[in-house]
Structures are given as structure tokens and as C-alpha cells.
Amino acid sequence: MNWVLRQLALPLLWLAASTGADAQSWPARPLRVIVSQAAGGTPDIICRLVMERLSRAIGQQIVVENRPGGGNVIGAQAAARSEPDGYNFFFATAAALVTNPYTFKSLPYDALKDFVPVSMVAQGVFLVLAHPAVPATTLSEMFALAKTEPGRLSFATDGPKNFSGMIAAWLNKLGGTQIPQIPYSAMPQGVQDTIAGRVQLTVLAVPSARGAVAAGTLRPLAVTSGQRIPGYENVPTVAETFPGFNFTGWMLLVAPSGTPADVVARINREMQPIMSDPDIVKRLRDIGFFTDGAGTPESTGAFIRSQYETWGKVVREIGIQAE
């Protein structure tokens, strides 16, 4: 009987030893990080900046693979279906994980179930902007003008189901106004039309707005973050008018579900000093983003779930229909 038990135990012992050796030898080959936006865009730039540091930390090459298109769906689907072997990751945006589930009737991936959280990376703030000729310097004045002179104002956005459009619609809801949106398939044209005065208002991420604000061709009325931000300390938050309002774009690192927990923990540990490095913090700020550090896989997961619930509430309140 003892001989039989020993024979049965041998494969289990071998498997345990083999698994431990594999974990210890990771990473034995290059990692892949999928970005669901085109090369040269802000998410791609930030991903490459951070992954270059991570590559140095783990001593292995990290290949950034761009899979743009379909409103982030193509890249997210590819990441969700990739092998959960510790060598595949997804540089996820808020759109991919928390707004797509509400704006698409069906998705080829489950934003909450198909990924495991790894690390926070960065958050980006939006500015509510007005043409200088608009006689409003605050949100309250903007709403008052919209009510006393209906039809005078309009928002240039990148569509009602994208961040700028949803923020504009939510502001209308909170302010009790009906400022119409003019959707643009190419937002730079919307910016130019706002600067020219053909449209009076717009909502832009800080990097996209910085040049126009510096030149005085657009006037910031409010920022969408919960707190005022460096470089725009004189610009009030939307929350100062509507308490609790706090909407930012963000990027974080996830992996396909089933990725070994020890790999997730290792990546998170390596991301901690990277995301608190003063040089990285400064370079992100120069791009228009900020970071509160890598967090933990658990806190990152809690953040995703909170954002998922928040955007679900916004979508329901403003009446967006999934298509």
C-alpha cells in the first residue's frame, strides 16, 4: 500500500516542482501589451513610457501591440482571448472597461469577468471650455445664459456616446438645460469650430485643450476631476457647483482572466516604484495626466467596479440607448 501511495504521489510532486520552477523562471520570453488605440495617440505614448520602465525592471522585452478600431472593442477582444500565461496584458482605458458595456448592445468580451486587475497607471482630466466671446466665466453663468437665451449655446463633442458627449449631457441634466451637442467624427474639427465661434462650448482632455487655453482662444470654465489640478489652479471643479461630480479618463493594466496570481503580484510590485518615480510623474503631468501610484490588484479592481457603477448611473440618467 505504501508503495502504491508513493507511486501516485510522484506525478503530483513532479507537477508541484515543475510549477514552482516555471514561476521562478518567469519571464522567460518577451511580454505583449495590447493597446486598443492607434500608435502615436496619448494611450499609446503613456503605455510605451511606462512599459519601457517595466521592461527594465523585469529584465525582459515588452512588445506594445496596437489594435485600434471599433471603439476599443477590437483590442479589448484580442486581449480577453489571449493566452492567460503571464505573457499577455491589456493597457485598458475607461472606454474599454466601463462605458462600452453600456453603449454597445453586445460585446465580444465581458469587461468585468474576462480580465484580472494588475495596476493603476494614470488618470486624465477634462476641461469644460467656452469661446472667449461667450459672456460666461463660470458654469453657473453658462447655465443661466442657456436658460435666458435658449439656442445661443451648443457643445462640440465627439459624439453622445463618447466621454465628451456624455459629460456634456450630464452637465445638461444637472444644470436643467438643453444645450445641444454638435457631434464631430474628427474632434480637431470641433475644436477649430469652437475657436472660430461657430460652436460656443466644448469638452476636451487637458492635452488637447492646453494650446488653445494658453493662446486664449478657449476659456476654461471648469475641470471634471474631484479636485483642482496643477497648472489650472484657478479653474474650479464641476464638483464645486455640483458636489460629487468627478469624471476622469483613465488607463490601467489588466491581464486575461486565469493569469497566474504570482505573475500579477510580481508585475504590481514592479509597477509600484515606477508609478511613484518623480520623472514618470512629471512626464505624465506634462502630457496632461496624473497618477496616484500603482495601487494593488485589489484596489485597482475596486476602482474598476466603482467606475463601472458610476458610468452606469450616468448612462441611465442621460438616457443613452445601447446600439
Predicted confidence at residue 186, as pLDDT, reads 85
Residue range 204-255, pLDDT digits in tens? 999 889 999 999 999 999 999 989 988 899 999 999 999 989 888 999 999 9
Q: At 6, give phi and psi (nearest 5°).
A: -65, -40
Predicted confidence at residue 7, as pLDDT, reads 53
Taking the C-alpha atoms of residue 25 and residue 224, their distance in angstroms, rounded to an integer, is 44
Residue predicted with more confidence, 323 or 165: 165
Residue range 118-162, pLDDT digits in tens? 999 999 999 999 999 999 999 999 999 999 999 999 999 999 988
Predicted confidence at residue 123, as pLDDT, reads 93
What domains can be seen in the chain, in order of their start residue? Answer: 30-124+248-318 (3.40.190.150), 125-240 (3.40.190.10)
Q: What is the pTM of this model?
A: 0.84
Residue range 18-35, pLDDT digits in tens? 443 355 789 999 999 999
CB-CB neighbours of 277 under 10 Å: 14
Q: Return the percentage of the chain with pLDDT > 90, whole number.
A: 79
Q: How confident is the model at residue 41 (pLDDT cuts 50, 70, 90)?
A: confident
Q: Is the pLDDT of residue 6 over 80?
A: no
Torsion angle of the four alpha carbons 262, 268, 270, 271, in this order, in degrees rounded to the nearest 10: 160
In sequence order, what E strands does the chain have?
Answer: 31-35, 62-66, 88-93, 115-130, 155-157, 181-183, 201-205, 219-223, 248-256, 289-290
